[in-house]
Copies of this chain bind each other. A is one copy, B any other.
């Protein structure tokens, strides 16, 4: 009997890949409650990433991501600049070198309270807690 497939995506063929933040153009992220945010999808579902997707975000001075929640977690590394994260009602300062875990379903927002660009890497699972494809992954 064939072994049970643990993760179907892990059975797909895919290749080593390199894509650079330096050479990519950011996609503006627009919508209610969003200001000055662009995204670069470094590795995602379309690259056959089996488990998680790696996205680079930039927030201009004074900008912010939406104050929202969803059934998947974030892990984040702040790459440049500083600002604040509000998560589940708590506000904390963030700066280059900070690693963050933002739990599934916690209401959260990143805000650039500085006068310089804030950049961070935000990793999401390619599937939500409910097994659905994660938007932006």
Contact = CB atoms under 8 A, between A and B. Distances in A.
A88 B54 CA distance: 22
Given A20-B99, A99-B20, A75 B94 contact: no
Question: Secondary structure at chain A's binding surface: helix, strand, loop or mixed?
Answer: strand
Contacts of A106: 16
Q: How large is the interface on A (under 10, 10 to 19, 20 to 34, 35 or more residues)?
A: 35 or more
A52 B79 CA distance: 19
Contact of A123 (B21, B54, B96): B54
A75 B102 contact: no
A79 B79 CA distance: 8
The 3 nearest A-B residue pairs measured at CB? A42-B99, A21-B97, A51-B125
